Amino acid sequence: MEATLEQAIQLGLLESEFESIKEILGRTPNFTELAMYSVMWSEHCSYKNSIKYIKKLPTKGSRILVAAGEENAGLVDIGDGLGVVFKIESHNSPSAKEPFHGAATGVGGINRDIFTMGARPIAGLNSLRLGDLNKDHTKFLFKGIVEGIGFYGNSLGVPNVGGEVYFEDCYQTNPLVNAMSAGIVEVGKTISATSYGEGNPVFIVGAATGKDGIGGASFSSEEISDENELPAVQVGDPYEEKRILEACLDLVGKDWLVGMQDMGAAGITCSTSEMSEKGEYGMDIDLTKVPTRQKDMLAWEMLLSESQERMLIVIKKGYEAELQKVFDKWDVNCTEIGVVTKGGNLRFYHHGKLEAEVPAASLCLGGGAPVYEREYIEPKYFEKIKSFDISKISESSDLKKDAETIISLPNIASKRWVYEQFDSMVGLRNYNIHAPSDASLVRVDGTDKVLAMTVDCNARYVYLDPYKGGMIAVAEASRNIVCSGAESVAISNCLNFGNPYNPELYYQFVYALKGMGEACTKFDTPVTGGNVSFYNQSENGPVYPTPTIAMIGIMDHIDQRMTLDFKEKGHKIFVVGKNTNDLNGSEYLFKLRGVQHSPAPHFDLEEEAEMQNKVLELIRNKAISSAHDISEGGLFTAVMESAMAGNLGFSIKYNDELRKDAYLFGEGQSRVIVSVAPEQEEKFKNLMSDHSYEEIGVVTDGVIMVGEEDWGNLEEWKEKYDTVIEKAMAN
C-alpha cells in the first residue's frame, strides 16, 4: 500500500522530502520504505542541517590515519605501530525521559563504535549538563544518569577516568549526556564498516531485536515536550556487550572478514545502508531470520528497532563456520540473515514477501539525503551583551565570603559524588588516582606511551559569544592536555544545539563551528568525527549552545607528566600568562552578581597558543613542579584546587592594577597556575624571559592567606568544596 503525505509528515519528513523520495524511487514508497527514509533522513542520522559547516572543519593532519566520516570513529597514529580510536556522542533525549537506561546505552553505544573498528576500549569520559541541583527533577535525572553510566561502564570493564558536570537552568528539561570512549588498535589491523562481494553472507550478531527504541533517531531530532513521548527506551546489557566485544576483537586480522558495523541509531536500516553504500553493493535481507524478542514484529518495526548490543557483519562466502565458531566460543548469537548483491539496492523480505526495496545510497548522506542551508541572524540578546559596562558593577564588599560561595557552586565544587560511583581502576591503566592532572592520563599497554584525554566546553561562553566561545572550548581542552605534559593531537566533537530552523539558534551553531575550526587549525588538532545533536530545547527554551570537545593528547613517557598539586611548602606560585581586569562571563558575575549578559572572557588565539607552547617547554625542561589551568572560578579557584590536591596552603597577594574581584574570580583565558621549587626558579625565569608571567604568592603549610588577611585553614575550605554535591543529593 502506498504511503501518504500525512504519514510522511507524522514521521517528521517535509513535503519536499516526500516528493524527493518519490523521485528517487520512481514511485510512491510504501509505509515501510517511508519509515526507513524518515529515520535515515532525520537530523540525527543525516546531518542535513549541519553538514555544510561540519565539512569546513579541519580534518587533515600528519597523525590522522582515518579521516572524519570514513568509519565509525576517528583513528590517530600514536607511534610504535599503534593507533587510538576515539569518539564522543550524545544520548540526550533518551536520558531526559529515562535517565538510567538512556545514559547506560549511551556508554554502550560509544564503546561499540570503538571495538567495531577492532580497537580495545581502554578508557571513557563523560560530559553532563543538568538543571538546578536544588530541584527534585534534576536530582532524579542526575542520580539515574550517573548510576546508568557507572552500571554499564563498570560492568563492561572500561574505566571511567574523567569528565565534567555543569548545572544551569537551561538544561532543566533537556539534560545533555555526552559519552566519550577511546581504544587502542594495531595500525593496519582495523576493521572497516563496508560490504562488498556478490554472494557474500550477511550476519546479525548479538542480542535479539525488540521494539525498544523504534524511531529513536527521529525522536532525537525533535524538541522535548509532554506530547512528544519517546518510544520505549533501549535497555542495555553490558554483560552481553562484553562478550560481543571479545568476539569482535577475535575477528581482527581475519582475512575472510569483509566488514562490520554497530547497529546504533536506525538499527538494521542504518547498518545495511551505510555498509552497502560504502562498498557500492546491495543486500538482500530476510527479516524472518532475524532473532526477535517479541512475536509477530512487523517489518518496519524490525528495520527501525534500536535494540542494543547488535552488530552487522559481512564475511567472504565459505567461511560461515569459522565465524560461527568465534561467536559460539563467546556464547553470542550469530545468525545469517542475507547476502550481498550487485546493483546497490537494498531488498528486505519478510515471510517471503518483498517489504521494501530502496537504493542504499539514497538513504545516506551524499547519496540522496537532503542538505540544507538554513538562515541565521545575530541573536537579539547580543544587544544586552554589548551594553555591559564593568564600571557599573560595584566592587565586592566581602571577598572571603564571595570566595566561599564560589567554591561551593555546583559548577566549581568537587564532583567526587559522581566519580566515586565509577570504576576508574579496572585495567590498571589510570595514572590519575593518587596525583591528579588537568587531563586524564592512561597507560598504553606494551609501550612507554601515555594517552591524555579530556572533555571540555564552557557553554555559557559560547552563548555569550559563539565564535569566541567555540575557540575557547578547543583552547581549554588543549590547555588541559598541555598542563598534563602531553602534546595535543586531535579532537572529536559533540555539537549540542537548539532548533536549526530558528535563525538565532542557527547563528550560534554557525559561529561556534567557525571558532572551533580556527582553534583546531591553530593547535593542529584536526577533527576526527563526532555527532550533531539539534533540537535540545523544550517549551522553556533552548539549552546553551554546547559544542563539547573531546581531545586526545600523546605523551612519550610518563616521566613527562605534570600534575596540578602543590608539592612543598616554600615553592613560589606564578601565573604563566597575563592577568586582566576582566569579569566577563564568569561564575562570579553570573551567579553572585546576577549579570546574565556580558561578553565572553578575554581571549586571544595567538596569545593562547604561545602560552601553551611555553607551558609545555617549562614541563619538558622540568622548570616547574605543578601546573593547573585557570578556568571556571578564576585564579582563586585554581590556586585552591592545587592546594587541596597537595594538602598544603598558600599565601597570595593582590595585583594593585586590577580590581580585587576581577583578580581573584575573573575568568580571562590563556593563564596557568604553576608552582616552582627554589632550585627551579632560575631556570623558570630564564625560560620565561620572552613571555608574560606574574609571581603571585607562595605555598604554605595549610594556612590560607589572601592579601594581608587570614582566610582560615585548608581543611575548612576543603570540607566546603568536597561536600557540596553530596549534601545536595542527600536532601
CA distance 510 to 503: 10
CA distance 187 to 194: 18
Which one of the listed residues 91, 101, 602, 628 is annotated catalytic? 91
Q: What is the DSSP letter of 2?
A: B
CA distance 95 to 104: 9
CA distance 432 to 424: 9
Contact between 143 and 101 under an 8 Å Cβ cutoff? The reply is: no
Looking only at the bridges linking them, the beta strands covering 487-496 and 527-533 are parallel
Q: What's the full length of the chain, in residues?
A: 731
From residue 40, alpha-carbon distances to 1, 36, 412 in Å are 21, 6, 40
CA distance 528 to 523: 14
Q: Is 338 helix (H, G, I), strand (E, B) or coil?
A: strand
- Give the residue among 639, 154, 240 at the shortest CA–CA distance from 406: 639
The torsion defined by the Cα of 640, 665, 668 and 586, in degrees rounded to 10, comes to 120
Cell 602531553 -> residue? 486
**CA atoms lying within 13 Å on the CB side of residue 227:** 3
CA distance 516 to 532: 14
Which one of the listed residues 44, 101, 602, 628 is annotated catalytic? 44
Contact between 30 and 489 under an 8 Å Cβ cutoff? The reply is: no
Q: In Å, how far from its chain's centre is CA 532?
A: 11
Please give the single-letter amino acid code of residue 655: N
Contact between 565 and 484 under an 8 Å Cβ cutoff? The reply is: no
User: What residue ranges in 240-320 does DSSP mark as E strands?
Assistant: 257-262, 282-286, 310-315
Contact between 88 and 126 under an 8 Å Cβ cutoff? The reply is: no
Cell 553490558 -> residue? 238
The torsion defined by the Cα of 254, 258, 263 and 264, in degrees rounded to 10, comes to 90
Joined together, the cell numbers standing for residue 173 give 528539561
Joined together, the cell numbers standing for residue 345 give 539496492
Contact between 651 and 600 under an 8 Å Cβ cutoff? The reply is: no
Alpha helices in 484-580 (DSSP H): 503-523
Looking only at the bridges linking them, the beta strands covering 282-286 and 345-350 are parallel
Looking only at the bridges linking them, the beta strands covering 487-496 and 282-286 are unpaired
CA distance 541 to 538: 5
Which residues are registered as beta bridge partners of 496?
Answer: 533, 546
The gap between the terminal CA atoms of the chain, to the nearest Å, is 56
393 φ, ψ (degrees, to nearest 5): -95, 115
Contact between 86 and 132 under an 8 Å Cβ cutoff? The reply is: no
Cell 593582590 -> residue? 654
CA distance 529 to 523: 17
DSSP H or E segment with residue 220: none
Which residues are registered as beta bridge partners of 254?
Answer: none
CA distance 58 to 112: 26
Residue 44 known to be catalytic: yes
Burial (CB count <10 Å: 0-12, 13-18, 19+), residue 720: middle
Residues involved in catalysis: 44, 91
